[in-house]
Structure formats: C-alpha cells, structure tokens
Amino acid sequence: MEKFLCKIDSKVIDDLNNQISNNRVLNWAPDYNNQAGISFENLSYILDYWKNKFSWTKEEEKLNKFNQFLFEYDNVKTHFLHIKSNQKNSIPLLLIHGWPGSIFEFNDLIPLLTSPDKNSLKDCQAFDLIIPSLPNVGFSFSPQQKPLDLTEISSHFIMLMKTLGYKKYFIQGGDLGSFVASIMAVNVPNEVMGIHLNLLPLPRGLNKKPDNIEEESYYEKVKYFMKHEGGYQQIQGTKPFTLAHALNASPVALCAYISEKFYAWTDNDGKLFTKINIDAMLANITLYWISGCIGASFWPYYIRHKSDWPIDINNPIMVPMGYSEFPKEIFSPPISLASQFYKNISLWKKHSSGGHFAAMEKPKELALDINKFVKDVI
C-alpha cells in the first residue's frame, strides 16, 4: 500500500488544449436531438468549455484533499480514495463506479455520506468510504499491467477490503459497479453486509415468457435499447481496440464518445448541464484522456461478450439488496424478475426523475436511499 497524490504535468494539459484547438470536428452532422449521436452544437459547446473554462488544476486540488492510495495485488495496482467520517459509529461503504464513469462521479455524494449532519441530512448514518478507480480506468490503469474482467475485479476488491481490515462492510454500485458488487456478495456473503444498487445486472434474455405486464414491458424496453442504443456494447464486446485506437488518438473523439452517453442516459430533456455538473463530467473525460485508459476500460465488455453472464441465476444472491430505480436508467427490471437473482430485497425505491449517473444527477436522493437501506439491514 502506497500513498498517492495526483500531479499531472501542466505540459500534458497544454497539449490537450492544443489538440482540442487543432482537431477537425465534424461540422455537417444534423441535429436529431442527439438520437443519432451527439450533435455538432452540443459537442462544440463542450469543447469550448473544456478548452476555455474547465480547470483540471481545480479538480486535481479537490481530489488531493482526500487520502489516496495505490493497492497492489496479483501485480495489479488499484488507485482508491479512503475517506473516513468524523461522525461516530460510521460504517464502511465501498463505492464502485461504472463505465464510462470514474471516481469523479461521486463528488457531490461524498459529503452527504461522510458528513450527513453538516449537509442537512439529519439523523442519517455516516460512512467511511472506500472509492476505488476500477482496474483498467484512470489512475488504476497502467499499460504494463494486465486488464481485469469483472470477476477478477471483484476478487481484487475483496482483497482490498481485507487488507484495509474491514471484516464487514456494505457496497454501493451502478453500471459495472453493480456487477462487481453482486459478484462480491456471492463470493464473500459473510463479509458483505448488503449491497445497494442503482442498476440491476440481470441477463438480457432470460428465455422465459413474461408472467405479467411489467415483465413484458421490460423485455420490450431491452429490445429497444439494444437496437437503438446498444451499439457501443457490440463494438466494445467484439472489436474494442479498433475503436480504442481512434479515441486514444483524439481528445475530441474521446469527448464525443463519452459525452454522448451522458446525454443519452441522463434525465435531461436536452439540457444536460442543468442536471449534472459539466466540470465533473469533463474531469471524468480528462481522466480518461491523460491516463490513456479508454481501450483497457472496454475489456470487461469484451470478456463478458465471450463468456457466460457473470451473474448466475443458479447461484442467487442471498445478502440483503436495496435498489433505487431512476426512470431514465438504461434497464429497470421489475421486482418479479429481480427476485429470481436477489433473494433478500429489503429496499425497492422508485424515483420520479433521474437516470444512469445517479450519484451526479440525484446525489441527495441516492444518499437517503443508501441510508434507509443500511438502517433497515442493521
């Protein structure tokens, strides 16, 4: 275990800004309300903000206020934040981000969980947070180390928590983080006290006829998503490195690819930056750029595409599970399907607004759900 301090050479940021200025942007793309990909107008706005208003230095300073470490296991180093609460009786909580996210997703959620009393959340549980960068992403990425699939990431995080001395803990995850949390719950149920998810990683096709209207509607939504929004999964699952070469060569291409997911997966009515913080999104994209991790970040999709689904219906999850359903999440299965995999559902909360990046869009609502779930379990 070694301490980590983020310090990116200013020349790297200068080079980034030069590449943004000199890149050739697609200028004929018609605006189909971002349905055909990010529009020229929206991308141009983001790029102008990125070059002229965004400050990596400020984001770096905020990040360095937290204790950061590198944990090495099986020749793979994982970057993580370790943020302990000043309130009494705090409980350890492992926060796991997904793709195309990073630790910057949790900027607004962190104070609500570590210092609820100071953030107008009275009588709420305080948490000690362990927030890793997924192996393959950001400061956990290195060209010299092997990329990990979801099962390997789960084993890595189990060992991280053991090394930190946590014998019992909760986990919160969305997107790929929900897979990792679920696998950990299967593998070490005596250590994981409960998992709270804002995406449920059920198999896309369960090969069963729907038993009710909710299941039928869910299957139709899955079909629609895979037809109209699922292209990224096919590319990242089959020929990831061809795309990665292009994205790794151009910050404009990388920004277009990632920011399009923020437009598509958040509850924004076309006004993305009224719902999420543009600086947090650009800190996330900048992290992918400066680390050069985009190709490695695709690896779990590639392995998942060639393997069995990592969540096995024949090995259901018995630890308590809480779920926060936000209406613009990419998949929202009904409880009748979820209960086939999660046998101890103690919280099922439906929200009226919000989407895939819940910690950025609805941090207060997510924090309250986590609190209720944990209090119900303990």
Q: What CATH number has the domain bearing residue 51?
A: 3.40.50.1820
Q: What does DSSP say about strands 321-325 and 345-350: parallel, antiparallel, or unpaired?
A: parallel
Which residues in the chain belong to E strands, given as ranges? 2-3, 68-73, 76-83, 91-96, 127-132, 169-173, 192-197, 321-325, 345-350
Query: What would the mean pLDDT of 241-256 be, rounded to a whole number?
Result: 96
| pLDDT of res. 310 | 86
Provide the b/e sequence for 324-354 (b: ≥16 CB within 10 Å). bbbebbbebbbeebbeebbeeebbbbebeeb
- Please give the distance of CA 376 from its chain centroid, rounded to a whole number: 25
What value does the mean pLDDT take over residues 256-285?
95
Instruction: List the Cα angle 141/143/148 in 5-degree steps.
Output: 55
pLDDT category, 169, cuts 50, 70, 90? very high
Residues 348-364 have pLDDT tens digits of 999 999 999 999 999 99
In sequence order, which residues have a C-beta less than 8 Å from that of residue 120 and are 6 or more positions away? none
What's the domain count of the chain?
1
- Where does the pLDDT of residue 29 fall: very low under 50, low under 70, confident under 90, or very high at 90 and above? low
| pLDDT band per the 50, 70, 90 thresholds, residue 33 | low
Per-residue pLDDT of 292-341, as tens digits, reads: 999 999 999 999 999 988 888 888 999 999 999 999 999 899 999 999 99
Position 244 confidence tier, pLDDT thresholds 50, 70, 90? very high
Active-site residues: which are they? 175, 301, 356
pTM score, two decimals?
A: 0.95
Sign of the Cα pseudo-torsion (327, 328, 329, 333, in order)? positive
Read off the DSSP letter of residue 45: H
End-to-end, the C-alpha distance of the chain in Å comes to 31
| 204 has a pLDDT exceeding 80 | no
Question: pLDDT > 70: what percent of the chain?
Answer: 97
- C-alpha 155 chain-centroid distance: 18
Sign, CA torsion 226/227/232/235: positive
Residue that wins the pLDDT comparison between 154 and 119: 154
DSSP state of 83: E
* Cis omega (within 30 of 0) for bond into 327: no
CA atoms within 13 A on the CB side of 142: 11
pLDDT for 69 beyond 80: yes
pLDDT category of residue 261 using cuts at 50, 70 and 90: very high
DSSP 8-state symbol, 273: G
Amino acid in position 284: N
Domain extent, residue 237, equals 2-377
pLDDT at 34: 67
Which of these, 101, 100, 114, 117, lies nearest to 67 by C-alpha position?
A: 114
Give residue 11's identity as a one-letter amino acid code: K
User: In which band, very low, low, confident or very high, does the pLDDT at 210 lie, cut at 50, 70 and 90?
Assistant: confident
